[in-house]
Amino acid sequence: MRMVLATGNAGKLAELTRMLEGYGVEVVSQAYLGIDPPVETGVTFVENALLKARHCAEHSGLPAAADDSGLVVPALDGEPGVYSARYAGPEGDDAANNRKLLAELAACDGDRRATFHCVMVYLRHGADPAPLIAHGSWHGSIAEAPRGTQGFGYDPLFEDPELGRTGAELDAPEKDARSHRGQALRALIDGLAAELRR
């Protein structure tokens, strides 16, 4: 089975491809197929994930999967939320986003709780009226300074409370077992497997 993954993020592509090994699914990125990403106009993770998957399915003629994920910090009224990847502006990178997050939290009352959310969707075709939708969440807190060299995005700042380590200090299997994306992907795979057994 061939599926297009609606992302240009190399870290996400590697993470999701690794987790789909052994399922008989060939994953190709939208960039590989020459598909430009759509403008993300949704105000929720669900809306953006559906928008991205539908765009890829329509332009490729293949089943498509997409995720939309981000960090929600209650002390910042839910920011960066759906704007996590572009929190520091459209030209900002992961380091700039992390610097902005630390600066914004420095002005708060000390509440450093945070939750990573991931919504993953799968569309069988561009007009699929009943997509599979899965959600995962990873609760933790924001560290005082970046730690670790693994992962991407906010991983160097996001500390898992049980392990006392940031996402960037976890190896790939540890992160996959705990992360919001790992949870969402496992739920999506369960849904796909149930559908194939029908």
In which residue are the tokens 């057994």 written? 197
Count: domains in the chain = 1
Instruction: Quote the domain boundaries for residue 29.
Output: 2-197
Q: Residue 97, exposed/middle/buried by CB under 10 A (0-12, 13-18, 19+)?
A: buried
For the annotated catalytic residues, the residue numbers are: 68
In this predicted model, what pLDDT tens digit does every residue of 11-37 receive, in sequence order?
777 777 777 777 777 888 999 899 999
In this predicted model, what pLDDT tens digit does every residue of 66-85 receive, in sequence order?
999 999 999 999 999 999 99
- Predicted structure pTM score: 0.88
CATH of residue 26: 3.90.950.10
